[in-house]
């Protein structure tokens, strides 16, 4: 079944090759990519989470990009997407990917129990440029911040699994440089805000204890940045669904090492009670911090290490942390987690990447391995796996799974991916 789907997508790639020739002859910059991925989950024995020993998924994304900067002060971009996803995942622990796409898409063409397809415009925006001001208007991608594992400044939109493109949001963005070394970013968009009234979804394992008490409200981000003696500093304020966030980031060099640190503080949260038998509040004011360093050796080996302090994590009550995680409030279950990434270029056509995370409180750990082979300049084959090690949940139901460790609650997975660019 999946072999046939992969063959069909290879044929689609061949069909899209003429677009590359058109792009070379046109005043409009036309490009795009096709991605397909097959993923297999090797589940552990825990009936409240998994209904079978293994699950599998197949996903595909076709992206067409139109860009133009032929006008003196105006440019535009349009990203049209066609997506397809098959999955036999009926149940699953929080944190598992149940689709290649993490965005909530519209324009369904197929919406069956096991498969779905969507077509939509991911980005469509205009950029107006003057001597000292850039204004972006429409559906656009917005991203700030340096860390790789836990980017506290990157709040807008969501990314795709193993994808190079960030999901677009409807927003206005204004970039105002003050001089060559400082400036201001302003973003205004709509957000879903938590409020006290409402209840929790409890109809499925994946949705258990997710809040439906949400309302639309205008979101606002203001970021200022400045470079002093080759060190970058930035301050951030943003309205979030759970309150207000202020943040500070510093990024500089110490000898051959790149050192960076991000700190944020959330305040102004509403008192929303935890569901079911859980005690305390779903939200509270808290600090989060990420400290990291980056170093590249002369032999094409790069190492990145980061440590996360998560003030909303509760290492003594991982089930409560998991409820916050499902609601998008938590970056992890524990307070302290360290991640290390190694990337090595064996040759220009073969790149390997390994990263590992460890939760200090429960000693569980996660290992990711990705091998990327460039067959041609615009066609890549990728193999990867994720192994999660730690104590498994011991509960008897999915409302209270009695989670024992950060990564022990997650299943192992293996994937095969094709990427083609034109």
Residue 125: per-residue pLDDT: 93
Please report whether residue 83 resides in a domain. Answer: no
3-state SS class at 3: helix
Least confident of 18-22, 77-81, 407-411: 18-22
Neighbours of 181 (CB within 10 A): 12
The string of pLDDT tens digits covering residues 122-142 is: 889 999 998 889 999 999 988
Model pLDDT for residues 8-21, shown as the tens digit of each residue: 555 555 545 555 55
pLDDT at 300: 87
Q: What is the pLDDT of residue 403?
A: 94
Enumerate helices (H) and strands (E) in the chain, giving the number of each: 2, 21
| Ranges 48-62, 124-138, 202-216: which has the least confidence | 202-216
Domain boundaries, position 319: 44-53+130-421
How many domains are contained in the chain? Answer: 1
On whether residue 121 sits in a domain, the answer given is: no
Average pLDDT of the residues in 47-56? 86
Q: Is 399 left (phi over 0), alpha (psi -120 to 50) or beta?
A: alpha
How far is the C-alpha of 323 from the C-alpha of 247, rounded, in Å?
A: 25
Q: What's 214's domain CATH number?
A: 2.40.160
pLDDT band at residue 301 under the 50/70/90 scheme: very high
pLDDT of residue 120: 83
Alpha-helix residue ranges (DSSP H) falling in 205-249: none
Question: Is there a domain that residue 271 lies in?
Answer: yes
Helix (H, G, I), strand (E, B) or coil at 82: strand
Q: Where are the alpha helices (DSSP H) in 194-314?
A: none
Q: Within a domain: residue 230?
A: yes
Whether residue 93 is predicted with pLDDT greater than 80 in this model: the reply is no
pLDDT per residue as tens digits for the range 334-383: 999 999 999 999 998 999 999 999 999 999 999 999 999 999 989 999 99
> What is the pTM for the complete model shown?
0.86
* The predicted structure's pLDDT at residue 100: 42
pLDDT at 97: 45
Q: Is residue 367 part of a domain?
A: yes
pLDDT band at 69 (very low <50, low <70, confident <90, very high): low
- 158 and 99 in contact (C-beta within 8 Å)? no
Task: Please state, rounded to an integer, the average pLDDT across all residues of the chain.
Answer: 84
Q: How confident is the model at residue 101 (pLDDT cuts 50, 70, 90)?
A: very low
Q: Is residue 258 part of a domain?
A: yes
Residue 323 counted as domain residue: yes
| pLDDT score recorded for residue 162 | 42
CB 327 within 8 A of CB 281: no
Task: Flag whether pLDDT at 212 surpasses 90.
Answer: no
More confident residue, 98 or 265: 265
pLDDT digits (tens, 9 = 90+) for 140-171: 988 898 898 988 887 665 544 345 677 788 89
The two most distant CA atoms of the chain are separated, in Å, by: 65
| CA proximity to 362, closest of 336, 325, 329, 326 | 336
Instruction: Classify the C-alpha dihedral 308-314-315-320 as positive or negative.
Output: negative
Distance, CA of 91 to CA of 409 (rounded, Å): 13
Band (276; pLDDT cuts 50, 70, 90): confident
The answer to whether residue 114 sits within a structural domain is no
């Amino acid at each position: 079944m999946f072999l046939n789907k992969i063959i069909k997508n290879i044929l689609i790639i061949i069909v899209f090759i003429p677009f590359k020739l058109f792009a070379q002859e046109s005043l409009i910059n036309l490009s795009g990519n096709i991605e397909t991925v097959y993923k297999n989950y090797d589940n552990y024995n825990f009936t409240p989470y998994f209904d079978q020993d293994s699950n599998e998924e197949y996903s595909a994304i076709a992206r067409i990009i139109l860009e133009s900067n032929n006008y003196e002060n105006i440019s535009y971009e349009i990203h049209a997407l066609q997506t397809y996803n098959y999955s036999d995942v009926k149940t699953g622990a929080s944190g598992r990917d149940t689709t290649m796409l993490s965005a909530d898409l519209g324009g369904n063409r197929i919406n069956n129990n096991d498969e779905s397809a969507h077509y939509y415009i991911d980005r469509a925006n205009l950029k107006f440029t003057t001597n000292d001001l850039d204004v972006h208007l429409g559906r656009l991608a917005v991203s700030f911040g340096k860390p790789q594992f836990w980017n506290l400044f990157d709040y807008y939109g969501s990314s795709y699994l193993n994808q190079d493109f960030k999901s677009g949001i409807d927003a206005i963005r204004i970039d105002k440089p003050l001089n060559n070394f400082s400036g201001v970013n302003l973003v205004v968009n709509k957000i879903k805000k938590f409020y006290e009234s409402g209840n929790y979804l409890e109809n499925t394992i994946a949705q258990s204890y997710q809040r439906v008490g949400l309302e639309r409200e205008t979101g606002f981000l203001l970021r200022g940045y400045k470079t002093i003696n080759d060190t970058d500093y930035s301050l951030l304020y943003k309205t979030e669904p759970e309150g207000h966030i202020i943040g500070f980031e510093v990024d500089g060099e110490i000898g051959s090492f790149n050192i960076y640190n991000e700190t944020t503080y959330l305040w102004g949260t509403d008192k929303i009670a935890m569901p079911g038998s859980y005690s305390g509040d779903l939200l509270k004011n808290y600090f989060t911090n990420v400290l990291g360093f980056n170093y590249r050796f002369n032999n094409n080996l790069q190492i990145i290490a980061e440590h996360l302090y998560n003030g909303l994590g509760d290492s003594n009550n991982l089930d409560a942390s998991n409820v916050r995680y499902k609601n998008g409030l938590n970056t992890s279950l524990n307070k302290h987690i360290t991640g290390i990434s190694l990337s090595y270029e064996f040759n220009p056509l073969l790149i390997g990447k390994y990263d590992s995370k460890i939760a200090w409180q429960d000693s569980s750990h996660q290992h990711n391995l990705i091998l990327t082979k460039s067959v041609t300049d615009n066609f890549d084959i990728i193999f990867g796996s994720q192994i999660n090690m730690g104590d498994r949940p011991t509960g008897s139901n999915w409302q209270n799974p009695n989670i024992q460790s950060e990564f022990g609650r997650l299943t192992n997975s293996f994937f095969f991916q094709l990427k083609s660019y034109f």
